[in-house]
A and B are shown apart, each in its own frame.
Chain A
Amino acid sequence: MSAALLIDILLWGSVYGVGLIAFRRGPQVFKASLREGSMDFINIVPRIALGVIGSGYIAAIIPQEVISGWLGPDSGWLGVAAAVIAGAATPGGPVIGFSIGTVALKSGGGVPQVVAYVVAWALFAFQRVILWEIPFMPARFVWFRCAVSVPFPFVAAAIAMMIGKP
């Protein structure tokens, strides 16, 4: 909870900082960007409402055991590939993603596979892409970024295999 508070303080501190810089450029600049930011906010809220309020249901029907089962112990590159797909398919927020990773690690999942899972989840979790990235960014950029990112969970797993366990 204190970490979340710290992040809130940093976040609003940054808003205050850049707002101050904008204000120094002139009240006109400040007002224009304030209006633009508020319009973005108003446009984005309905989409986020649907995603956030709905995500609990999506998470509730995909059992976590199924996903952690895919990250079998020392399953090699096939396991890494399964982990990448599992990472992209994991619904819900960070609690669910990291919890599945922990369960997989504790139930004997391979470390490179879990690394691939966490990295793939960070890069592609479909819910975050649909909910956050597409509303805010140009769609062309989003698809391009996802396509370009595909090799990297595998690269992370390869590095993990080379340097060994934590």
Chain B
Amino acid sequence: MIAALVAVSAALVWRRDGTSGVLDILTHDLSLFGGILPRVLAGCLLGAFISEILPHEKVSRSLGPKSGLKGLLIGTAFGAILPGGPFTAYPVASALLAVGADFGATIAMVVSWTLIGYGRAVAWEIPIMGTDFTLWRIVISLPLPVLAGALGRFVYVRLYPTPAAKDDET
């Protein structure tokens, strides 16, 4: 699906700008890809190590379905301090899910990473949008990860009434 979308877009660029337009974008994106690759590797390694070294019982106690508000707050804090971009956040979130965190805490972590994580704010938002807007937006966003995690947990329990029993079977 993405391949088709890319092919259509590339064809449209070619019709508008000719071959040089297509090549310009290709070289730019290739260099971007080259820059991202080592970070993707770092993210994958980080996720693998974390899922290996975190004690499962401890994670499911502090981030599992019964962890309450504290679990959501831990998820939020974890998402906010996690270094790197999507190449770290998603492998790590996936690792947390695998070792016993529930959807609520993981949602809190992912949302916190997208909204208050410092990586993107420092690298992109402050230079482009300005410090005032960025800080103000982050202050507004502070409660959102916890709310999203709470809503996620609330809905999840009602959608899948006995998730614990299902997990035990696998």
Contact = CB atoms under 8 A, between A and B. Distances in A.
B115 A123 contact: yes
A138 B122 CA distance: 29
Contacts of B72: none
Q: Bin the interface of chain A by size.
A: 35 or more
B157 interface: no
Q: Bin the interface of chain B by size.
A: 35 or more
- Would you call the interface of chain A mostly helix, strand, loop, or mixed? helix
A58 B5 contact: yes
Given A10-B84, A152-B147, A138 B97 contact: yes
B93 interface: yes
8 contacts: A33-B51, A45-B40, A54-B3, A54-B9, A60-B9, A119-B137, A137-B93, A144-B103
Interface of A: 3-4, 6-8, 10-15, 18-19, 21-22, 25, 29, 32-34, 36-38, 40-41, 44-45, 48-58, 60-61, 94-95, 98-99, 101-102, 105, 114-115, 118-119, 122-123, 128, 130-133, 135-138, 141, 144-145, 147-149, 151-152, 155-156, 159-160, 163, 166
